Amino acid sequence: MSVNNDGKTGRARSSISKRLLLNVALLTILICVVSTASGYLQYSNTIRKMYNDNGYAVANIILDHIDHDKIGHYAQTWTEDEDYAEIADYLKDVADASGVAFIYIVTLNEDQTIRYIFDSTGVPIGSSDPVPANFDVAWKAYTEGKRPASYMVRHSPKYGYLTSSMLPIIDSQGKVVAMLSVDVWMKVIIGTMQRYILRMVLISLGTLAVFGVVYWTLMHRSFISPLRRIRDNVTEFARNNTVTTTSLSDIRTGDEIQDLARSVSQMEDEIVQYIDNIQAITAEKERISAELNVATQIQADMLPRIFPPFPERHDFDIYATMDPAKEVGGDFYDFFLIDDDHLCLVMADVSGKGVPAALFMVIAKTLIKNHALRGESPSSILYNVNNQLCEGNEAEMFVTVWLAIIELSTGKGVAANAGHEHPAICRRDGKYELAVYRHSPAVAAMDGIPFREHEFELHPGDRLYVYTDGVPEATNAQDELFGAERMVNALNRDPNADPQTLLDTVRREIDAFVGDAPQFDDITMLGLHYKG
């Protein structure tokens, strides 16, 4: 009996050792059960298939020696003639010579019965019986004229435990006239498998018992003893630091855990240092959070947010919102007058989230507005911006953009869609519908690519709604998407509403659908009422 550092006996050390020994014993038993069960399943399937294949071998021999047309004749007339006894004797001789249980030729009926033509045990012709094996498998073989894809095993009080090998009998006209079945006794299989299980259990228990003893010995040597050395090392390391006022001396578990508790009590000085570090990290996090708040404000200031933006204009009304999923987002919208008669609308979504997306958003928004104010067409704007953003784009970020320029005097517009969501249009006194058309790749995806333009026309009283994918892809707690259909239905709650009321309605519908689920993507929307 050993003595620990405090002079007390080492009987406490036995408790954790006993638990380890119990775990090894349980693991040994589990491995024994699993290995025996898996071996039994594999062996039983193999030996059953072997016996079933032997039955098919006998069945094929019989098919080569009987007159198939005669069998078809008996299946039609159900009467015996001078050849009937010869075939019946042949089947009985084969059954006796091969040692199989039963050989019989039958027809199958849809009511899941068979009708005997021949039987090695002397069952009269025309007698009926339930199907001796799985009906679906037997019926498929009977109707298709093919050997069953799987072997059949049955166990019934009347006939015992058998494996059935069934083959169709096809006459000279290619018609299936009957089924030949060879049943083989499974008694030998059962006895063989029982002996196999016994041997497997004995071998597994013996092998695993030796393994358990060796494993437990190694674990005791490799785990418990090193744990004690680690305890001593940690205790020595902790004593070189400032002593704490906290004590774990009240722990009396009586095993190595008690020693570990003493070591932990001496390491609490380091925990105090960790707390100091955490406080410093928290302060740094608060500083970053404050800077992100400033970034959020800067980003918000970059987007038009004074409404109405053009109070002197009465030919259109516009309203837009952007709610980032994080402190800063990658979505942005923009609208501005290129001249007195041309209004530019922009709705865009940068790949990714957070600060990188926000920085990319600032660059993209600035470039788009600069090119638009030069009088370029939507396709030219996206083409030039795409080439500029592709330069040095090592982060491989991209931005989907819907950009339109509307001639306010006529309502004629030209739009370019670079991988963005389809807009929704509401004609005067009508309902909102998605304007679906083929769009171009996203901006900054690849340099030098052209962008398609799409002409449209707004009439006085028409309304336009554009958005980012954060609207249809808003997700509730059940991982269901808000979807385009719900979005259009929300728009049509009051299709004649002014843009601000319209966007507020859609946002309420999204919030009601999402519930308490967190917002994963920026939600950005813009509504335009063209008055003409």
H or E, element range at 424: strand 424-426
Alpha helix (H) ranges present in 111-171? 135-144
What is the per-residue pLDDT for 169? 93
The whole-angstrom separation of Cα 504 and Cα 512 is 12
pLDDT in tens, the chain (532 residues): 344 444 444 444 455 666 766 777 777 778 777 777 777 677 667 766 777 777 888 888 899 999 999 999 999 999 998 889 899 999 999 988 888 888 999 998 888 888 999 998 888 998 888 775 577 888 888 888 888 877 677 666 677 777 888 899 999 999 999 989 888 877 666 676 677 777 777 777 777 777 767 776 766 665 565 555 555 555 655 565 554 444 555 556 566 656 666 666 666 666 667 767 887 887 777 776 665 665 566 666 788 989 999 999 999 999 999 888 876 677 899 999 999 999 999 999 998 777 788 888 888 999 999 999 999 999 999 999 999 999 988 888 999 999 999 999 999 999 999 999 999 999 998 999 999 988 999 999 999 999 999 999 999 999 999 999 999 999 999 999 999 999 999 999 999 999 999 999 999 999 999 999 998 888 999 999 999 8
For residues 52 and 133, the answer to whether their CB atoms sit within 8 Å is: no
Q: Could you tell me which of 187, 148, 140 has the C-alpha nearest to residue 164?
A: 148
| Alpha carbon distance 100, 52 (integer Å) | 11
- Could you tell me the pTM of the whole model? 0.51
Residue 317 · residue 388 · CB < 8 Å: no
- The CA angle 526-528-532, to the nearest 5 degrees, is 165
**For the domain 305-530, what is the CATH code?**
3.60.40.10
Three-class secondary structure of residue 337 per DSSP: strand
Q: Provide the angle, in degrees to the nearest 10, between the axes of the packed helices 187-219 and 13-65.
A: 160
The DSSP line for 293-312 is: HHHHHHHHHHS--SSSS-TT
Instruction: Identify whether 308 is preceded by a cis peptide bond (ω within 30 of 0).
Output: yes
Largest Cα–Cα separation, the chain: 114
Residue owning tokens 């007058």: 337
- Tell how far CA 446 is from the center of its chain: 32
C-alpha distances in Å from residue 257, one per residue of 96, 231, 261, 462: 74, 10, 6, 77
List phi, psi (to 5°) of 403. Answer: -130, 130
Q: Distance between CA atoms of 26 and 32, rounded to whole angstroms? A: 10
* Residue 344 confidence (pLDDT): 97
Q: Which amino acid is at 49?
A: K
What are the φ/ψ torsions at residue 19 (nearest 5 degrees)?
-65, -40
Taking the domains of the chain in order of start, what are their residue ranges?
A: 66-185, 305-530
CA 77 to chain centroid, in Å, comes to 60
Do 66-185 and 305-530 fold alike per CATH? no
CATH class of 66-185: alpha beta
